[in-house]
Structure 1
Amino acid sequence: MSKVDVFRALHLQRAQGDPLVLPGPWDAAGARVFVEAGFPALATPSGGVAAALGYADGSTPADEMFAAVARITRAVQVPVSADVESGYGLAPKELVERLLEAGAVGCNLEDSEGGVLKDPHRQAEFLAEVRSAAADRLFVNARVDTFVHGDKDPEQAIERAALYVAAGADCVYPILAPADVLPLLRAGIQGPININARLAGEGPSPAELGELGATRVTFASGIQRWATAALVELARGLAR
């Protein structure tokens, strides 16, 4: 079974309360740590990679992002999905080629740019072209930015998600969706749903999100920010 087949299978027929938990490494060392801890797959965060490379979130040049993803995929044997923001303006065929060259088995694609939601029908067309170019070689996770850049209306999120699923998206990701709307999203969205979790003590656990309807749980750049905060404390201790 290929890595992308393994990755796709990890999303299917998951029991309620048992979502696929994907930590987000921003470098090869972190990727190895997560794999050694037993995680069966990983999902890079664009914000975390940007911070590691010295860029503001959303400002990483495409070449540097793909190079960072390639370093991570070379370091581990498990499937790795890559957050490639809104695609860096690349044509679908080139985007797919760059992802495959980097060793990724999947990708996140945002439906906003510059803090503004894209027209959902045009985004669906873009996703369909990505799916056509990738065939079954990539697992496409379509981000729905209604709760971060839109009016936070769950029905609008469901409508956008339906267009993306019809276009061939394997999973939809209503980022920053509040936990209390997850049952509504679950009832209205076909197929796997990716929900982002906060770290321990800051919100529902991955298992609790699974009970509410999440198929897959990621952390955006939360783990990288937590690690940076820990490093700050270490540095302060060393400087005393």
Structure 2
Amino acid sequence: MANQTSKHQAFRALHARPGAFVIPNPWDAGSARILAALGFEALATTSAGFAFSIGRRDSAAALSREAVLQNARSIVGATDLPVSADLEDGFGADPECCAVTISLAAEVGLVGGSIEDATGDPADPVFEFNLAVERVAAAAEEARKHPFILTARAENFLHGRLDLDDTVRRLLAFEEAGADVLYAPGLPSLEAIRTVCSSVNRPVNVVMGLAGQTFTVKQLQELGVKRISVGGSFARAALAGLMRAAREVKEHGTFTYSRDAMPAGEAASYMLDVKR
């Protein structure tokens, strides 16, 4: 069984080696075990996928820090892979809240996590620049006390603020504040991704699986992207399969969906066999 230190070393090595790697996003222990069995080298939690699994919308208000970390703990315990977590906005506006969240995240065995600059307030969706930087600095200071890789997220493009200059400005400030990885979800084009990658000196994470974006690993790697996540899109793909099956039964009274379902034996083969 890999310990937290060895997982951290493996995770850091993934960011240091040439080329890009994909870090998919399970939403529970079972999906984590399947992704590990497929040969992925690290995992990241998804607040959206977790929220959907408990019947809630994805928001910091809907997901408590305790619930998010408990979900992360179950994913950490499901495999020997390094796990990074979506830690929302740090669960509080104050920089100290971000630091406490990083400490608690390390306690559950996570070796990485992200802090975003989104406020959760539709009227004022992104933290003011100086406060956003202070929050990352506090998180980075705490992360250095643990085997932990901090990702700082600039959320402009997810909240209708289509300002690439400000996004790069924020990422550069987050880099200076001590973030290990930089991430601006929702960048609209390969050119925008290229601009971000060429502007910063830390590994860049890009999310795929958002509507309208079908760039390949090869394309992203050529632009300088280091890490590629999928956010909640694997969870949404699973929900789409559920919806197709349920609609077939409800609307047609047939069960042909079972032809495409994973066989029970295969599903069981990925899971932990607990003896009484």
TM range (shorter): over 0.9
Equivalences for residues 3-152 of structure 1 within 5 A: 3-15=7-19, 19-58=20-59, 59-89=62-92, 91-114=97-120, 115=122, 116-135=125-144, 136-152=146-162
Q: Is 1:198 the counterpart of 2:216 in the alignment?
A: no
Are the aligned partners of 1:199 and 1:223 in contact in 2 as well (CA < 8 Å)?
Answer: no
Cα distance 1:41–1:48, how it changes in 2: closer, same or farther (>3 A)? same
Q: Distance in 2 between matches of 1:152 and 1:200?
A: 16
Structure 1 residues 200 and 162: CA distance shift in structure 2, 3 A? closer
Q: Is the 8 A contact 2:98 2:115 kept in 1?
A: no
Give me the CA root mean square deviation.
1.9
Deviation at 1:172, TM superposition (A): 0.7
Query: SS of 1:25's equivalent?
Result: coil
Give the letter aligned to residue 36 of structure 1.
Answer: A
1:213 to 213, 224, 232: 224
Query: Residues 145 and 202 (structure 1 numbering): CA distance in 2 closer, same or farther, change over 3 Å?
Result: closer
Q: What TM-score comes out, normalization by structure 1 length?
A: 0.92
* Counterpart code for 1:57: D
Q: Does 1:162 align with 2:172?
A: yes
8 Å contact kept, 2:25–2:231: yes
Distance 2:65 2:34 in 1: 26
Work out whether residues 102 and 113 of structure 2, in 8 Å CA contact, stay in contact via their aligned partners in 1. no
- The equivalent residue for 1:181 is 192
Q: Which runs of 5 or more residues in structure 1 are unaligned?
A: none
Q: Please tell me the residue identity of whatever aligns with 2:107.
A: E
Gaps of 5+ in 2: 254-276
Tell me, yes or no, if the aligned pair for 2:186 and 2:210 is still in contact at 8 Å.
no
Aligned 8 A contact 1:140 1:169 in 2:
yes
Structure 1 residues 207, 235: closer, same or farther in 2, change over 3 A? Answer: same
Q: How many residues matched? A: 237
Q: Which stretches of structure 1, 4 residues or longer, exceed 3 Å deviation after superposition?
A: 199-202
The offset of 1:62, in angstroms, is 1.6
Larger Rg: 2
CA distance in 1, matches of 2:210, 2:160: 25
- Displacement after TM superposition at 1:96 (Å): 2.1
TM-score, scaled relative to structure 2: 0.81
Deviation of residue 201 (structure 1)?
Answer: 9.0
